[in-house]
Amino acid sequence: MTNRIALVTGGAGGIGAATCRALAENDLRVAVADIDLARAQATMAELPGKGHIALALDVLREESVAAAFARTEASLGAISVLVCVAGGSLITDDYRPKIADMTLDFWSRTEAVNSRGTFLCVREFLRLRTQSPMADARIIALASLAGQTGGSSQTDAAYGASKAAIMSLMRNAAVQGAPLGITANAIAPGLIDTEKVRMAVTPEQREATAAQTPLKRLGLASEVADVIAFLASPKSGFVTGQTVNVNGGRFMI
């Protein structure tokens, strides 16, 4: 067991829980932080190893972000690794707007849960590590293939733009974090077979996406988590400011 501590936002969701597991398997102690405390606790209870915690976090609220980081550092010690997973698309079967039909409220809520929430967590982490820098610190944030393509096929313009903002934020954080020993990278998954995706994307759309993917399938949450675990490790020390694609080759066709 190392002394490295990770805080994972959205840690109770599909990719978040897989990330918590991969980090715990790599001997990190994990703070599983999610707006859904009960699911965060259930995720934490199944992690290998000891010394993990679960906590309630709303990435939209500054005071909630500050409290979650403070509680993690008080309970576990200084955080080495921040993984920002909380977020997602807000489209539903009933509301899948094109730009011309999109309400300002939909745009703002999508931007908030993705890019604003990531910004608030990254800001808090940089503040803490400025006060007490540590070697091999890491920021990893979930962007999306939609942030590169615009999101017109499966999601929406607000989601694509909010994820593009995260990729840009990581490039800036890479420059500002470097003197503090922090690397910052984004992950851009293609369609990953999580419960959320099974609810939000029809079986026909999932099959069509698999058919358009060179590897002819959707990704697994564990395959995203394994890339995050590498970026979280000291072995990734010369990788910063990058967007790592985990998409079965989909971007190329």
Ligand X SMILES: NC(=O)c1ccc[n+]([C@@H]2O[C@H](COP(=O)([O-])OP(=O)(O)OC[C@H]3O[C@@H](n4cnc5c(N)ncnc54)[C@H](O)[C@@H]3O)[C@@H](O)[C@H]2O)c1
Rule CB under 6 A: which residues touch ligand X? 9-10, 12-16, 34-36, 57-60, 85-88, 113, 117, 142, 144, 189, 191-192, 194-197
In the bound complex, what is the minimum distance in angstroms from residue 89's beta carbon to ligand X?
6
- Give whole-number Cα distances, 161 to 83, 100, 179, 241, in Å: 20, 15, 29, 18
Q: Please confirm, yes or no, whether 95 is among the known catalytic residues.
A: no
Q: Which is nearer to ligand X, 76 or 158 (CB)?
A: 158
Q: Which is nearer to ligand X, 109 or 171 (CB)?
A: 109
Residue 181, amino acid = G
Q: Can you tell me the distance from the alpha carbon of 104 to that of 88, in angstroms, rounded to the nearest whole number?
A: 17
Q: Which is nearer to ligand X, 27 or 30 (CB)?
A: 30
In the bound complex, what is the minimum distance in angstroms from residue 98's beta carbon to ligand X?
20
In the bound complex, what is the minimum distance in angstroms from residue 130's beta carbon to ligand X?
24
Q: Can you tell me the distance from the alpha carbon of 114 to that of 144, in angstroms, rounded to the nearest whole number?
A: 11
In the bound complex, what is the minimum distance in angstroms from residue 103's beta carbon to ligand X?
19
Nearest to 245 by CA among 211, 202, 204, 214: 214
Q: Which is nearer to ligand X, 61 or 171 (CB)?
A: 61
What is the DSSP annotation of 86-142? Answer: -------SS----GGG--HHHHHHHHIIIIIHHHHHHHHHHHHHHHS--TTEEEEEE
Q: Can you tell me the distance from the alpha carbon of 73 to that of 50, in angstroms, rounded to the nearest whole number?
A: 16
Secondary structure element (H or E) that encloses residue 241, with its range: none
Nearest to 44 by CA among 32, 35, 55, 56: 32
Q: Can you tell me the distance from the alpha carbon of 83 to that of 24, in angstroms, rounded to the nearest whole number?
A: 13
Q: Which is nearer to ligand X, 11 or 177 (CB)?
A: 11
Q: Which residue's C-beta sits nearest to ligand X?
A: 13
In the bound complex, what is the minimum distance in angstroms from residue 137's beta carbon to ligand X?
21
Catalytic residue among 69, 106, 119, 159: 159
Residues assigned a catalytic role: 159
